[in-house]
Structure 1
Amino acid sequence: MIEKPYDVFISYATEDEAYTKKVVDSLKSLGLKVWFAPVTLEVGDRLLDSIHAGLFASKCGLIILSSKYMSKSWTKHELDVLHRQHIESNKRLFLLWYGVNKNQIDKWNPALSGIVALKSSMSIPLIAKKIANVMSQNAPIRGVTPSYENPQFRFLQGRGELLANSDTGGAFNIFEAAEFPDKDFPLYIYGRLYSKKDIIIEIAKIIVYQSYNSYNLSSERRDRMVRLCKDYGFDTEDPNFDPAFMG
Protein backbone atom coordinates (compact mmCIF):
# COMPACT_ATOMS: atom_id res chain seq x y z
CA MET A 1 0.00 0.00 0.00
CA ILE A 2 1.29 3.46 -0.92
CA GLU A 3 1.74 5.64 2.15
CA LYS A 4 -0.25 8.87 1.95
CA PRO A 5 1.90 11.93 2.78
CA TYR A 6 -0.83 13.78 4.70
CA ASP A 7 -2.92 12.68 7.65
CA VAL A 8 -5.73 15.21 7.29
CA PHE A 9 -7.15 17.22 4.37
CA ILE A 10 -8.94 20.36 5.57
CA SER A 11 -12.02 21.48 3.64
CA TYR A 12 -13.27 24.91 4.68
CA ALA A 13 -14.76 28.18 3.47
CA THR A 14 -12.32 31.08 3.09
CA GLU A 15 -14.42 33.19 5.47
CA ASP A 16 -13.69 30.65 8.22
CA GLU A 17 -9.93 30.70 7.68
CA ALA A 18 -8.96 32.32 10.99
CA TYR A 19 -10.76 29.65 13.01
CA THR A 20 -9.59 26.88 10.70
CA LYS A 21 -5.95 27.93 11.06
CA LYS A 22 -6.22 27.57 14.84
CA VAL A 23 -7.51 24.02 14.35
CA VAL A 24 -4.69 23.30 11.89
CA ASP A 25 -2.03 24.63 14.28
CA SER A 26 -3.42 22.48 17.08
CA LEU A 27 -3.46 19.37 14.87
CA LYS A 28 0.12 19.99 13.76
CA SER A 29 1.24 20.49 17.35
CA LEU A 30 0.08 16.91 17.96
CA GLY A 31 2.23 15.60 15.12
CA LEU A 32 -0.37 15.31 12.35
CA LYS A 33 0.58 16.22 8.78
CA VAL A 34 -2.12 18.55 7.48
CA TRP A 35 -3.09 19.60 3.94
CA PHE A 36 -4.32 23.18 4.40
CA ALA A 37 -4.40 25.52 1.39
CA PRO A 38 -2.56 28.58 2.83
CA VAL A 39 0.49 26.57 3.91
CA THR A 40 0.42 23.71 1.39
CA LEU A 41 -0.06 25.44 -1.96
CA GLU A 42 3.16 26.53 -3.62
CA VAL A 43 3.62 29.58 -5.81
CA GLY A 44 2.58 28.71 -9.36
CA ASP A 45 0.52 25.65 -8.39
CA ARG A 46 -2.69 25.10 -10.33
CA LEU A 47 -5.32 25.41 -7.62
CA LEU A 48 -7.70 22.71 -8.87
CA ASP A 49 -4.95 20.17 -9.55
CA SER A 50 -3.28 20.84 -6.19
CA ILE A 51 -6.49 20.47 -4.21
CA HIS A 52 -7.42 17.26 -6.02
CA ALA A 53 -3.95 15.92 -5.28
CA GLY A 54 -4.37 16.89 -1.62
CA LEU A 55 -7.74 15.14 -1.43
CA PHE A 56 -6.27 11.87 -2.66
CA ALA A 57 -2.98 12.20 -0.76
CA SER A 58 -4.62 12.44 2.67
CA LYS A 59 -5.66 9.64 4.99
CA CYS A 60 -8.80 11.41 6.15
CA GLY A 61 -10.82 14.56 5.62
CA LEU A 62 -11.90 17.22 8.11
CA ILE A 63 -14.76 19.45 7.01
CA ILE A 64 -15.29 22.76 8.82
CA LEU A 65 -19.03 22.81 8.25
CA SER A 66 -20.46 26.32 8.61
CA SER A 67 -23.20 28.40 7.03
CA LYS A 68 -20.57 29.91 4.70
CA TYR A 69 -19.37 26.42 3.75
CA MET A 70 -22.91 25.35 2.91
CA SER A 71 -23.43 28.36 0.62
CA LYS A 72 -20.51 27.71 -1.75
CA SER A 73 -20.29 25.53 -4.85
CA TRP A 74 -16.54 24.91 -4.53
CA THR A 75 -16.77 23.48 -1.02
CA LYS A 76 -19.65 21.28 -2.18
CA HIS A 77 -17.27 19.80 -4.76
CA GLU A 78 -14.69 19.00 -2.05
CA LEU A 79 -17.43 17.54 0.15
CA ASP A 80 -18.70 15.33 -2.69
CA VAL A 81 -15.20 13.91 -3.27
CA LEU A 82 -14.58 13.31 0.44
CA HIS A 83 -18.01 11.77 1.01
CA ARG A 84 -17.56 9.47 -2.00
CA GLN A 85 -14.16 8.37 -0.68
CA HIS A 86 -15.77 7.82 2.74
CA ILE A 87 -18.41 5.51 1.23
CA GLU A 88 -16.39 3.75 -1.47
CA SER A 89 -12.96 3.51 0.16
CA ASN A 90 -13.86 3.67 3.84
CA LYS A 91 -11.86 6.89 4.14
CA ARG A 92 -12.45 8.44 7.52
CA LEU A 93 -14.40 11.70 7.45
CA PHE A 94 -14.52 14.13 10.37
CA LEU A 95 -17.21 16.80 10.53
CA LEU A 96 -16.74 19.90 12.66
CA TRP A 97 -19.95 21.86 13.03
CA TYR A 98 -18.88 25.48 13.19
CA GLY A 99 -21.82 27.58 14.37
CA VAL A 100 -24.46 25.32 12.80
CA ASN A 101 -26.91 22.77 14.20
CA LYS A 102 -28.39 19.41 13.18
CA ASN A 103 -31.53 20.95 11.67
CA GLN A 104 -29.42 23.07 9.31
CA ILE A 105 -27.28 20.08 8.35
CA ASP A 106 -30.34 17.89 7.72
CA LYS A 107 -31.87 20.49 5.41
CA TRP A 108 -28.64 21.03 3.49
CA ASN A 109 -27.35 17.46 3.22
CA PRO A 110 -29.24 14.72 5.11
CA ALA A 111 -26.53 12.18 4.22
CA LEU A 112 -24.18 13.90 6.67
CA SER A 113 -26.46 13.68 9.67
CA GLY A 114 -25.47 10.06 10.29
CA ILE A 115 -21.82 10.97 10.83
CA VAL A 116 -20.96 11.75 14.45
CA ALA A 117 -19.71 15.33 14.46
CA LEU A 118 -17.35 17.46 16.49
CA LYS A 119 -18.74 20.85 17.51
CA SER A 120 -17.14 24.28 17.73
CA SER A 121 -18.50 24.61 21.27
CA MET A 122 -15.65 22.26 22.21
CA SER A 123 -12.19 23.71 22.79
CA ILE A 124 -9.85 23.57 19.81
CA PRO A 125 -7.20 21.53 21.70
CA LEU A 126 -9.89 18.96 22.58
CA ILE A 127 -11.06 18.80 18.95
CA ALA A 128 -7.49 18.22 17.79
CA LYS A 129 -6.88 15.62 20.50
CA LYS A 130 -9.98 13.63 19.52
CA ILE A 131 -8.90 13.58 15.86
CA ALA A 132 -5.31 12.65 16.75
CA ASN A 133 -6.53 9.84 19.01
CA VAL A 134 -8.63 8.35 16.22
CA MET A 135 -5.83 8.69 13.66
CA SER A 136 -3.33 7.01 16.01
CA GLN A 137 -5.86 4.35 17.07
CA ASN A 138 -5.54 5.66 20.63
CA ALA A 139 -1.87 4.72 20.83
CA PRO A 140 -0.54 5.75 24.26
CA ILE A 141 2.45 7.56 22.72
CA ARG A 142 2.68 9.41 19.39
CA GLY A 143 6.13 10.42 18.19
CA VAL A 144 6.00 14.14 17.31
CA THR A 145 8.84 15.80 15.42
CA PRO A 146 9.79 19.04 17.25
CA SER A 147 9.54 22.22 15.19
CA TYR A 148 13.26 22.89 15.46
CA GLU A 149 13.85 19.76 13.37
CA ASN A 150 12.27 21.51 10.37
CA PRO A 151 14.35 24.64 9.80
CA GLN A 152 12.88 25.34 6.36
CA PHE A 153 9.36 25.54 7.80
CA ARG A 154 10.52 27.74 10.67
CA PHE A 155 12.38 30.06 8.27
CA LEU A 156 9.39 30.44 5.94
CA GLN A 157 7.09 31.06 8.93
CA GLY A 158 9.30 33.87 10.23
CA ARG A 159 10.34 31.82 13.26
CA GLY A 160 13.89 30.78 12.49
CA GLU A 161 17.13 31.35 10.62
CA LEU A 162 19.24 29.68 7.96
CA LEU A 163 23.00 29.86 7.45
CA ALA A 164 24.49 31.29 4.26
CA ASN A 165 26.26 28.73 2.03
CA SER A 166 27.78 26.57 4.80
CA ASP A 167 27.35 25.58 8.41
CA THR A 168 29.83 28.31 9.30
CA GLY A 169 28.06 30.99 7.25
CA GLY A 170 26.25 33.99 8.67
CA ALA A 171 22.70 33.46 9.91
CA PHE A 172 19.75 35.29 8.33
CA ASN A 173 15.98 35.22 8.72
CA ILE A 174 13.36 35.68 6.03
CA PHE A 175 12.83 39.38 6.81
CA GLU A 176 16.52 40.06 6.33
CA ALA A 177 16.45 38.01 3.13
CA ALA A 178 13.66 40.21 1.75
CA GLU A 179 16.03 43.18 1.88
CA PHE A 180 18.95 41.41 0.23
CA PRO A 181 20.13 43.16 -2.97
CA ASP A 182 18.78 41.76 -6.24
CA LYS A 183 22.18 40.28 -7.08
CA ASP A 184 21.77 37.79 -4.20
CA PHE A 185 18.72 36.16 -5.78
CA PRO A 186 17.57 33.52 -6.35
CA LEU A 187 18.03 31.91 -2.95
CA TYR A 188 18.41 28.14 -2.91
CA ILE A 189 16.53 26.68 0.06
CA TYR A 190 16.07 22.95 0.56
CA GLY A 191 15.98 21.95 -3.08
CA ARG A 192 14.05 24.93 -4.39
CA LEU A 193 14.99 28.29 -5.89
CA TYR A 194 13.23 31.33 -4.40
CA SER A 195 13.07 34.60 -6.31
CA LYS A 196 12.73 37.85 -4.39
CA LYS A 197 9.02 37.84 -5.26
CA ASP A 198 8.69 34.32 -3.82
CA ILE A 199 10.20 35.54 -0.55
CA ILE A 200 7.88 38.57 -0.50
CA ILE A 201 4.87 36.28 -1.01
CA GLU A 202 5.95 34.20 1.99
CA ILE A 203 6.29 37.39 4.04
CA ALA A 204 2.79 38.51 3.04
CA LYS A 205 1.49 35.19 4.37
CA ILE A 206 3.50 35.58 7.57
CA ILE A 207 2.09 39.06 8.20
CA VAL A 208 -1.51 38.07 7.50
CA TYR A 209 -1.36 34.85 9.53
CA GLN A 210 0.90 36.40 12.20
CA SER A 211 3.11 33.30 12.30
CA TYR A 212 6.34 35.13 13.11
CA ASN A 213 8.20 35.41 16.39
CA SER A 214 8.03 39.01 17.57
CA TYR A 215 11.76 39.16 18.35
CA ASN A 216 12.47 38.52 14.65
CA LEU A 217 10.31 41.42 13.52
CA SER A 218 10.48 44.82 15.18
CA SER A 219 7.65 47.28 14.52
CA GLU A 220 9.99 49.32 12.31
CA ARG A 221 10.96 46.30 10.22
CA ARG A 222 7.34 45.15 10.06
CA ASP A 223 6.37 48.52 8.56
CA ARG A 224 9.13 48.07 5.97
CA MET A 225 7.86 44.58 5.16
CA VAL A 226 4.29 45.86 4.72
CA ARG A 227 5.55 48.53 2.30
CA LEU A 228 7.67 45.98 0.46
CA CYS A 229 4.67 43.69 0.05
CA LYS A 230 2.65 46.60 -1.36
CA ASP A 231 5.45 47.34 -3.83
CA TYR A 232 5.00 43.80 -5.15
CA GLY A 233 1.20 44.10 -5.32
CA PHE A 234 0.34 42.36 -2.04
CA ASP A 235 -1.63 44.69 0.24
CA THR A 236 -1.57 42.92 3.59
CA GLU A 237 -3.64 45.72 5.15
CA ASP A 238 -6.56 45.14 2.77
CA PRO A 239 -9.19 43.03 4.63
CA ASN A 240 -10.10 41.36 1.31
CA PHE A 241 -6.52 40.28 0.62
CA ASP A 242 -6.29 36.47 0.65
CA PRO A 243 -2.72 35.12 0.56
CA ALA A 244 -3.98 31.54 0.21
CA PHE A 245 -4.35 31.92 -3.54
CA MET A 246 -1.37 34.07 -4.46
CA GLY A 247 0.86 33.13 -7.36
Structure 2
Amino acid sequence: MTKPYHVFISYATEDEAFTKEIVGSLKHLGVRVWFAPLSLEFGSNLLSSINAGLKNSEFGFAVLSPIYIAKKWTGYELDIMMRQHIEQDKKLFPVWHGVTKKELDDWNEGIAGIVAMNSTEGAPAIAEKIAKRVYKGSPTVGVSPSYENPQWRFLQGQGELFANTDRGRCFNIYEAAEFTDDQFPLYVHDKLYSKEEIILGVAAVFHYSNPDAIPITTDRKKRLLKLCKDHGYDVKDKNFDPAMHGW
Protein backbone atom coordinates (compact mmCIF):
# COMPACT_ATOMS: atom_id res chain seq x y z
CA MET A 1 0.00 0.00 0.00
CA THR A 2 1.28 3.46 -0.90
CA LYS A 3 2.05 5.57 2.15
CA PRO A 4 1.01 9.24 2.31
CA TYR A 5 4.57 10.46 2.89
CA HIS A 6 7.90 9.52 1.40
CA VAL A 7 10.05 10.83 4.26
CA PHE A 8 9.53 11.60 7.96
CA ILE A 9 11.74 14.51 9.05
CA SER A 10 13.16 14.30 12.59
CA TYR A 11 15.05 17.35 13.87
CA ALA A 12 15.61 19.61 16.86
CA THR A 13 13.69 22.88 16.82
CA GLU A 14 16.98 24.79 17.11
CA ASP A 15 18.03 23.27 13.76
CA GLU A 16 14.80 24.26 12.00
CA ALA A 17 16.39 26.82 9.66
CA PHE A 18 18.78 24.26 8.15
CA THR A 19 16.09 21.57 8.12
CA LYS A 20 13.71 23.88 6.23
CA GLU A 21 16.33 24.24 3.49
CA ILE A 22 16.38 20.46 3.04
CA VAL A 23 12.58 20.24 3.15
CA GLY A 24 12.31 22.96 0.50
CA SER A 25 14.76 21.11 -1.74
CA LEU A 26 12.91 17.82 -1.24
CA LYS A 27 9.54 19.39 -2.09
CA HIS A 28 11.14 20.96 -5.17
CA LEU A 29 12.03 17.41 -6.26
CA GLY A 30 8.48 16.20 -5.65
CA VAL A 31 9.24 14.28 -2.44
CA ARG A 32 6.34 14.18 0.02
CA VAL A 33 7.58 14.97 3.53
CA TRP A 34 6.16 14.78 7.05
CA PHE A 35 7.63 17.91 8.58
CA ALA A 36 6.11 19.25 11.79
CA PRO A 37 5.65 22.91 10.73
CA LEU A 38 3.84 21.74 7.58
CA SER A 39 2.11 18.58 8.80
CA LEU A 40 0.88 19.38 12.30
CA GLU A 41 -2.62 20.81 12.42
CA PHE A 42 -3.77 23.35 14.99
CA GLY A 43 -5.20 21.61 18.03
CA SER A 44 -3.87 18.17 17.09
CA ASN A 45 -2.33 15.82 19.65
CA LEU A 46 1.43 16.12 19.19
CA LEU A 47 2.36 12.57 20.17
CA SER A 48 -0.43 10.99 18.11
CA SER A 49 0.43 13.12 15.08
CA ILE A 50 4.12 12.23 15.24
CA ASN A 51 3.38 8.53 15.69
CA ALA A 52 1.06 8.68 12.68
CA GLY A 53 3.73 10.48 10.67
CA LEU A 54 6.33 7.85 11.54
CA LYS A 55 3.94 5.04 10.62
CA ASN A 56 2.80 6.63 7.36
CA SER A 57 6.22 7.46 5.93
CA GLU A 58 8.31 5.18 3.73
CA PHE A 59 11.67 6.49 4.97
CA GLY A 60 13.11 8.23 8.01
CA PHE A 61 15.45 11.23 7.99
CA ALA A 62 17.22 12.66 11.03
CA VAL A 63 19.26 15.85 11.38
CA LEU A 64 21.76 14.73 14.02
CA SER A 65 23.27 17.64 15.94
CA PRO A 66 24.59 18.18 19.49
CA ILE A 67 21.17 19.61 20.38
CA TYR A 68 19.36 16.69 18.75
CA ILE A 69 21.20 14.08 20.79
CA ALA A 70 20.61 16.05 24.01
CA LYS A 71 16.83 16.06 23.69
CA LYS A 72 14.46 13.34 24.88
CA TRP A 73 11.80 14.06 22.26
CA THR A 74 14.11 13.58 19.28
CA GLY A 75 15.50 10.49 21.01
CA TYR A 76 11.96 9.09 21.07
CA GLU A 77 11.54 9.67 17.33
CA LEU A 78 14.93 8.14 16.56
CA ASP A 79 14.20 5.07 18.71
CA ILE A 80 11.11 4.36 16.61
CA MET A 81 12.95 4.95 13.33
CA MET A 82 15.80 2.68 14.43
CA ARG A 83 13.34 -0.05 15.37
CA GLN A 84 11.59 0.30 12.00
CA HIS A 85 15.00 0.25 10.31
CA ILE A 86 15.90 -3.05 12.00
CA GLU A 87 12.55 -4.83 12.12
CA GLN A 88 10.94 -3.56 8.90
CA ASP A 89 14.01 -2.73 6.80
CA LYS A 90 12.74 0.85 6.64
CA LYS A 91 15.61 2.97 5.35
CA LEU A 92 16.94 5.70 7.61
CA PHE A 93 18.87 8.67 6.23
CA PRO A 94 20.98 10.42 8.91
CA VAL A 95 22.77 13.70 8.28
CA TRP A 96 25.49 14.84 10.66
CA HIS A 97 25.04 18.50 11.50
CA GLY A 98 27.96 19.80 13.54
CA VAL A 99 28.33 16.55 15.46
CA THR A 100 31.32 14.19 15.69
CA LYS A 101 31.45 10.43 15.36
CA LYS A 102 32.66 10.15 18.96
CA GLU A 103 29.66 12.12 20.20
CA LEU A 104 27.34 9.81 18.27
CA ASP A 105 29.19 6.68 19.41
CA ASP A 106 28.86 7.79 23.03
CA TRP A 107 25.16 8.51 22.53
CA ASN A 108 23.94 5.78 20.19
CA GLU A 109 26.34 3.34 18.53
CA GLY A 110 23.57 2.05 16.28
CA ILE A 111 22.94 5.35 14.53
CA ALA A 112 26.68 6.06 14.37
CA GLY A 113 27.10 2.87 12.33
CA ILE A 114 24.65 3.88 9.59
CA VAL A 115 26.20 5.50 6.51
CA ALA A 116 25.35 9.18 6.83
CA MET A 117 25.51 12.45 4.93
CA ASN A 118 27.04 15.64 6.29
CA SER A 119 25.35 19.03 6.40
CA THR A 120 28.47 20.54 4.80
CA GLU A 121 27.30 18.93 1.53
CA GLY A 122 24.48 21.49 1.38
CA ALA A 123 20.71 21.06 1.36
CA PRO A 124 20.26 20.59 -2.43
CA ALA A 125 22.86 17.80 -2.62
CA ILE A 126 21.41 16.05 0.44
CA ALA A 127 17.90 16.29 -1.00
CA GLU A 128 19.04 14.87 -4.34
CA LYS A 129 20.59 11.84 -2.63
CA ILE A 130 17.40 11.19 -0.68
CA ALA A 131 15.21 11.66 -3.76
CA LYS A 132 17.35 9.19 -5.69
CA ARG A 133 16.61 6.53 -3.06
CA VAL A 134 12.93 7.45 -2.86
CA TYR A 135 12.55 7.23 -6.65
CA LYS A 136 14.54 3.99 -6.82
CA GLY A 137 17.19 5.48 -9.08
CA SER A 138 14.75 6.17 -11.91
CA PRO A 139 16.31 8.53 -14.49
CA THR A 140 13.00 10.31 -15.13
CA VAL A 141 10.60 11.34 -12.37
CA GLY A 142 7.12 12.70 -12.99
CA VAL A 143 6.65 15.49 -10.44
CA SER A 144 3.00 16.37 -10.07
CA PRO A 145 1.71 19.94 -10.24
CA SER A 146 -0.33 20.82 -7.17
CA TYR A 147 -3.50 21.35 -9.20
CA GLU A 148 -4.01 17.85 -10.53
CA ASN A 149 -3.94 14.18 -9.62
CA PRO A 150 -0.80 12.98 -11.40
CA GLN A 151 -1.63 9.35 -11.92
CA TRP A 152 -5.18 9.58 -13.20
CA ARG A 153 -4.91 12.69 -15.39
CA PHE A 154 -1.50 11.86 -16.83
CA LEU A 155 -2.43 8.28 -17.71
CA GLN A 156 -5.76 9.41 -19.16
CA GLY A 157 -3.92 11.72 -21.53
CA GLN A 158 -5.43 14.76 -19.81
CA GLY A 159 -2.59 16.11 -17.71
CA GLU A 160 1.07 16.98 -17.67
CA LEU A 161 3.91 16.31 -15.26
CA PHE A 162 7.17 18.11 -14.65
CA ALA A 163 10.42 16.29 -15.39
CA ASN A 164 12.46 15.70 -12.22
CA THR A 165 11.66 18.99 -10.40
CA ASP A 166 8.61 21.23 -9.98
CA ARG A 167 10.23 23.62 -12.45
CA GLY A 168 11.28 20.97 -14.96
CA ARG A 169 9.94 20.85 -18.49
CA CYS A 170 6.34 19.67 -18.82
CA PHE A 171 5.51 16.46 -20.61
CA ASN A 172 2.36 14.43 -21.27
CA ILE A 173 1.85 10.73 -21.90
CA TYR A 174 2.19 11.18 -25.69
CA GLU A 175 5.60 12.78 -25.26
CA ALA A 176 6.62 10.19 -22.66
CA ALA A 177 5.90 7.41 -25.16
CA GLU A 178 8.63 8.85 -27.37
CA PHE A 179 11.21 9.22 -24.62
CA THR A 180 14.49 7.43 -25.31
CA ASP A 181 15.09 4.07 -23.65
CA ASP A 182 17.56 5.56 -21.17
CA GLN A 183 14.79 7.78 -19.76
CA PHE A 184 12.91 4.75 -18.44
CA PRO A 185 11.59 3.55 -16.11
CA LEU A 186 9.35 6.55 -15.51
CA TYR A 187 8.33 7.19 -11.91
CA VAL A 188 4.75 8.48 -11.64
CA HIS A 189 2.84 8.71 -8.36
CA ASP A 190 4.64 5.93 -6.48
CA LYS A 191 4.86 3.50 -9.42
CA LEU A 192 7.54 2.73 -11.97
CA TYR A 193 6.33 2.52 -15.58
CA SER A 194 8.26 0.87 -18.39
CA LYS A 195 8.24 2.28 -21.91
CA GLU A 196 6.01 -0.62 -22.93
CA GLU A 197 3.44 0.34 -20.28
CA ILE A 198 3.42 4.00 -21.31
CA ILE A 199 2.89 3.05 -24.95
CA LEU A 200 0.02 0.80 -23.90
CA GLY A 201 -1.38 3.79 -22.00
CA VAL A 202 -1.30 5.88 -25.17
CA ALA A 203 -3.06 3.09 -27.06
CA ALA A 204 -5.74 3.07 -24.35
CA VAL A 205 -6.26 6.84 -24.66
CA PHE A 206 -6.75 6.46 -28.42
CA HIS A 207 -8.98 3.40 -27.99
CA TYR A 208 -11.37 5.08 -25.56
CA SER A 209 -11.39 8.36 -27.53
CA ASN A 210 -11.35 10.43 -24.37
CA PRO A 211 -12.87 13.83 -25.29
CA ASP A 212 -10.88 15.56 -22.55
CA ALA A 213 -7.53 14.24 -23.74
CA ILE A 214 -4.84 16.76 -24.66
CA PRO A 215 -5.12 17.50 -28.40
CA ILE A 216 -2.17 16.49 -30.57
CA THR A 217 -1.27 17.10 -34.20
CA THR A 218 -2.30 14.69 -36.94
CA ASP A 219 1.34 13.88 -37.67
CA ARG A 220 2.07 13.05 -34.03
CA LYS A 221 -1.03 10.87 -33.80
CA LYS A 222 0.00 8.92 -36.91
CA ARG A 223 3.48 8.46 -35.49
CA LEU A 224 2.12 7.26 -32.14
CA LEU A 225 -0.41 4.92 -33.74
CA LYS A 226 2.48 3.30 -35.62
CA LEU A 227 4.50 3.11 -32.41
CA CYS A 228 1.60 1.41 -30.64
CA LYS A 229 1.15 -1.04 -33.51
CA ASP A 230 4.87 -1.84 -33.56
CA HIS A 231 4.53 -2.83 -29.90
CA GLY A 232 1.54 -5.07 -30.55
CA TYR A 233 -1.22 -2.58 -29.76
CA ASP A 234 -3.09 -2.03 -33.03
CA VAL A 235 -5.68 0.55 -32.04
CA LYS A 236 -7.40 0.27 -35.44
CA ASP A 237 -7.96 -3.46 -34.97
CA LYS A 238 -11.61 -3.87 -33.90
CA ASN A 239 -10.55 -6.66 -31.55
CA PHE A 240 -8.03 -4.53 -29.69
CA ASP A 241 -8.88 -4.07 -26.01
CA PRO A 242 -6.41 -2.43 -23.59
CA ALA A 243 -7.92 -4.44 -20.74
CA MET A 244 -6.73 -7.64 -22.38
CA HIS A 245 -3.18 -6.33 -21.98
CA GLY A 246 -3.60 -5.43 -18.33
CA TRP A 247 -4.51 -1.76 -18.67
State the Cα deviation string for residues 102-156 of structure 1 (Å, max 9, x = none).
Answer: 1111111111122100101102111000000011111001111235659xxxxxx
Determine the C-alpha separation between the residues in 1 that align with 2:112 and 2:49. Answer: 29
Runs of 4+ in structure 1 deviating by more than 4 angstroms, as ranges, are 147-150
Q: Secondary structure, in 3 states, of the residue corresponding to 2:133?
A: helix
Residue correspondences, number: 149
Alignment of 1:200-239 (within 5 A): none
Alignment of 1:95-106 (within 5 A): 95-106=94-105
2:83 is matched with which residue? Answer: 84
Cα offset, 1:81, TM superposition:
0.3
Determine the C-alpha separation between the residues in 1 that align with 2:146 and 2:120. Answer: 29
Q: Secondary structure, in 3 states, of the residue corresponding to 2:137?
A: coil
2:53 is matched with which residue? Answer: 54
TM-score of the aligned structures, taking structure 1 as reference length: 0.59
Determine the C-alpha separation between the residues in 2 that align with 1:22 and 1:63. Answer: 14
1:41 is matched with which residue? Answer: 40
2:123 is matched with which residue? Answer: 124
Determine the C-alpha separation between the residues in 2 that align with 1:149 and 1:49. Answer: 30
State the Cα deviation string for residues 75-107 of structure 1 (Å, max 9, x = none).
Answer: 100000000000000000000101112111111
Q: Secondary structure, in 3 states, of the residue corresponding to 1:143?
A: strand
Q: Which runs of 5+ in 2 are unaligned?
A: 150-247
Determine the C-alpha separation between the residues in 1 that align with 2:12 and 2:147. Answer: 31
State the Cα deviation string for residues 177-235 of structure 1 (Å, max 9, x = none).
Answer: xxxxxxxxxxxxxxxxxxxxxxxxxxxxxxxxxxxxxxxxxxxxxxxxxxxxxxxxxxx
Determine the C-alpha separation between the residues in 2 that align with 1:61 and 1:104. Answer: 21
Flag the structure with more relative contact order, 1 or 2, with Cα contacts below 8 A and sequence separation at least 6.
1
1:94 is matched with which residue? Answer: 93
The aligned amino acid for 1:10 is: I
Q: Secondary structure, in 3 states, of the residue corresponding to 1:137?
A: coil
The aligned amino acid for 1:94 is: F
Determine the C-alpha separation between the residues in 2 that align with 1:148 and 1:29. Answer: 15
The aligned amino acid for 1:76 is: G
Seq. identity, %: 55
Cα offset, 1:15, TM superposition:
0.5
2:14 is matched with which residue? Answer: 15
Determine the C-alpha separation between the residues in 2 that align with 1:96 and 1:68. Answer: 14
- Is structure 2 residue 31 aligned with structure 1 residue 32? yes
2:73 is matched with which residue? Answer: 74
The aligned amino acid for 2:41 is: E
Alignment of 1:99-178 (within 5 A): 99-147=98-146
TM-score of the aligned structures, taking structure 2 as reference length: 0.59
Determine the C-alpha separation between the residues in 2 that align with 1:112 and 1:41. Answer: 26
Cα offset, 1:50, TM superposition:
0.4
1:65 is matched with which residue? Answer: 64
